[in-house]
Amino acid sequence: MWTVILSWGKKILNSKLFLYTVIVGCIYLWIVDRKNLAENVDRLGRNQTALVLKNSEQIELTKREFTRLYHKEDSIAQFIGIKPKQLQNVIVNNYHYKDTSIVKFPLIPTNTGDTVKFIKPTGCVRVEGYVLNKDIIFNKVEVFDTFTTYLYGKRPHKFLFIKWGKWIIDAKTYSECKKDTIQVEKNLKINN
């Protein structure tokens, strides 16, 4: 039995068809590897150009690079329920709002006639003003917040564990001040 199998195996290994198949397979794997390498070099070249132009263009990252370099954004995306493979784009906006309008509120009158200046930081809001004899005056209000918008894709149809169909792009905006999602947009159309 073993002699028949060994003699048949020797015939296959000695045939030219097997040799040609191995050579074609190696050439195919080499071409695929070169193509992946060329795409990676092009992506890194575009990233280098974006860095030289002071972030005027978008940087393209792999999933591994995104999780390693932007750990905070990755953890927020996981917190609001977006998988890394669904991410299309991440936009971070730093929001700083100042209002210098004067607002008066009446107080219970006190006997002291002094004017007291105060600064009260409360979370993401900072309030400045004066306490006079009969009222409190707010003359400066500042709000600090960072909004992170995640554009992510999902498939509309699902059968068992297979998702299929054209990608639908949705967006979620996360506020660091509120520590929650503040806006969800469904089925966005993005024109390139």
Centre a 10 Å sphere on the Cβ of residue 135 and count the other Cβ atoms it contains. 14
Q: Parallel, antiparallel, or unpaired: how do β-strands 180-188 and 135-154 relate?
A: unpaired
pTM above 0.75, yes or no: no
CB contact at 8 A, 167 and 155: yes
* Beta-sheet strands, E only, within the chain: 87-99, 103-106, 116-122, 125-131, 135-154, 157-159, 162-164, 168-175, 180-188
Q: Report domain extents, the chain.
A: 1-60, 84-192
List the chain pLDDT tens, one digit each, 192 residues.
556 556 666 676 677 777 788 889 999 999 999 888 888 888 877 777 766 666 555 667 777 777 777 778 888 888 888 887 788 878 787 877 777 666 665 555 555 566 677 777 777 888 888 777 677 777 788 888 888 888 888 877 888 888 887 878 888 888 888 888 887 888 776 655
CA neighbor of 140 nearest in space, from 96, 106, 177, 93: 96
Q: How far is the C-alpha of 144 from the C-alpha of 79, rounded, in Å?
A: 22
Centre a 10 Å sphere on the Cβ of residue 174 and count the other Cβ atoms it contains. 22
